[in-house]
Amino acid sequence: MQNLLLLLGDEAIAQGAIDGGISGVYAYPGTPSTEITTYIQETTDKREIRSDWSVNEKTAMEAAMGLSYVGKRALVCMKHVGLNVAADAFINAAITGINGGIVVLVADDPSMHSSQNEQDSRFYGKFALIPILEPSNQQEAYDMAYTGFELSEKLGYPILMRITTRLAHSRSGIIRKPQKQQRPISLPTNRKQFILLPAIARQRYSALLAAQSEFEEQANNSLYNEYIDGVNKKMGIIACGLTFNYLMENFPNGCEYPIVKIGQYPLPRKKIERLIDECESILVIEDGYPLVEELLKGYTGKGIQVKGKLDGTLPRQGELNPNNVGQAFGFTLEKDITIPEVVKMRPPSLCKGCGHIDLYESLVEVLKDYPTARVFSDIGCYTLGALPPYTAIDTCLDMGASITMAKGAADGGLHPSVAVIGDSTFTHSGITGLIDCVNDNSNVTIIIVDNETTAMTGGQTSSGTGKLEAICQAVGVDENHIHVCEPLKKNIDYIVQLIKKEISHTGVSVIIPRRECIQTLKRKKK
């Protein structure tokens, strides 16, 4: 076994989970969490650890619960907005509890590098009333993944582990621990534990509430929560997860203020109370929403001044960094470094040779004749159709929303109402919207752009490959109004006429422009 590895934060978590004895990882790709599952797929035998992609985050969470049911350890991975999709299963998993250990890894994306919002997954952990782990560096990420399953089994509940983009995609050396064996099959001793009939659910919820004191005690004694004393008691600092590093970069010779470093939640009350007792005010440094800052308002009933994001001491929007943390202490902001032209941010664009380009040229050509037409789109490479030179789509809300928004607009009298969705997104959360359209015989034209992969996140397997026509027909779309075409320059006139024909049809139409992603094709030819 190689004891020292240079790994991304995502990879450190993956290695920690492997060494921690997982039997399966369940995930849907989404930046910045994708590399966790990819690493497990590339470094382990699939016969030893189940690692294929799930169709969406909800199915991932539910399958992990099934693996846990038989006593084995499961890792669930997603980005923050994916937890919205998994929320039903996730919240109820806190009620049922677990059998084999479960770590739900959620990668948040402050500054929205590749996301629709900045939501903070710690709120989901607080909402579910389960312990949360938040590493400050890659070694802690590895250690938390390694021990998280054991903690989950000790407490009897799933564990939420929250990271951010900066940790996920930065690299550091980690020291490995001895690899644990996978657990044997061991069925629950209480056969009613996972049956959430109201009478049982009430009992389980009471048990969850009773467990909160144990969760807090675990946090008080956690190696990831640390009280670091300082000589200057005018202010105490609470630094959560990765932000501890931003703080210490401003104090290379050691911080003069007392610090409570937070890596495990619920908050370690004893350490927090000591900080409040000893200091005149508290500064909370946390990436994401002001969760801890809000919790501290009246936390001990002592009315101490709490500073952070809510009072403007730290910025409410975007990632924290050493500079804006330093400003909270009155340090001068470092001057911006001139970025060389070659690495400057450029607007994203569709790849040369991408089939989406020919589709959008066809769609724009058609809709010139319909001034009130709107195109409801979705999450994926094709979202770039919103940008010039295409300016071909009008909305992008969430995974699967294209079809259901198009339906709602059609219900309101809009015509033509067009949806554009990708093949992977369609199987993720578009099928149910299509069923609604069929049930209502909605006057919508649905375009499923099929590049036979999950392209935007790196070319992962798409659950829809080879199945789209069959799925559409199976849910009730008239086979006469399901069309497959090849988006190429030479076919644009045909595609234009096809779209026009299906727009004129009263009812549900599905057009599937199919052409393999140019990037996955390139990789195959290497």
Res. 227: pLDDT tops 80: yes
Q: Give the mean model confidence (pLDDT) for residues 310-333.
A: 90
CB–CB of 424/463 below 8 Å? Answer: yes
Res. 501: pLDDT tops 80: yes
Neighbouring C-alpha atoms within 13 Å toward the C-beta of 297 = 9
Please indicate whether the domains covering 4-210 and 226-327 agree at the CATH topology level.
yes
pLDDT tens for each residue of 439-479 = 999 999 999 999 988 887 888 888 889 999 999 999 999 99
Q: Give the mean model confidence (pLDDT) for residues 338-361.
A: 83
Domain 4-210 - what CATH class?
alpha beta
Q: Burial code of 376-388, b = ≥16 C-beta within 10 A, e = fewer? A: bbbbbbbbbbbee
CA distance 432 to 434: 5
Of the pLDDT bands very low, low, confident and very high (cuts 50, 70, 90), residue 334 is: low
Say if strands 395-396 and 444-449 run parallel, antiparallel, or are unpaired: unpaired
CA 362 to each of CA 44, 366, 418, 492, 493: distance values in angstroms, whole numbers, following the listed order: 44, 6, 13, 6, 8
- Give the model's pLDDT for residue 111: 79
**Chain-wide mean pLDDT for the chain?**
93
pLDDT tens for each residue of 94-151 = 999 999 999 999 999 887 887 888 899 999 999 999 999 999 999 999 999 999 999 9
Of 71, 67, 61, whose CA–CA distance to 94 is shortest?
Answer: 61
Q: Regarding the domain delimited by 226-327, which CATH topology (the fold level of the hierarchy) does it fall under?
A: Rossmann fold (3.40.50)
pLDDT tens for each residue of 149-164 = 999 999 999 999 999 9
- Give the model's pLDDT for residue 526: 67
CA distance 258 to 281: 11
Domain 355-525 - what CATH class?
alpha beta
Of 120, 157, 104, whose CA–CA distance to 295 is shortest?
Answer: 120
Res. 486: pLDDT tops 80: yes
CA distance 139 to 136: 8
- Give the model's pLDDT for residue 382: 87
Res. 518: pLDDT tops 80: yes
SS3 state at 388: coil
Token output for 466: 């080879």
Residue 187: count of CB within 10 angstroms of its CB: 9
| DSSP tag of 21 | T
Neighbouring C-alpha atoms within 13 Å toward the C-beta of 215 = 25
Which uninterrupted H or E stretch holds 449? strand 444-449
Percent of the chain exceeding pLDDT 70 equals: 98
Q: What angle do CA 151, 156, 160 make, to 5 degrees?
A: 60
Report yes or no on whether pTM surpasses 0.85. Answer: yes
CA 60 remoteness from chain centre: 12
Phi, psi of 442 (to 5 degrees): -65, 145
Domains in the chain: boundaries: 4-210, 226-327, 355-525
Q: Which residues contact 47 (CB under 8 A, 6 or more apart)?
A: none
CB–CB of 420/391 below 8 Å? Answer: no
Res. 1: pLDDT tops 60: no
Q: What is the DSSP string of 161-182?
A: EEEEHHHHT-EEEEE--PPPPP
Q: Which residues contact 459 (CB under 8 A, 6 or more apart)?
A: 453, 517, 519, 520, 523
Of the pLDDT bands very low, low, confident and very high (cuts 50, 70, 90), residue 294 is: very high
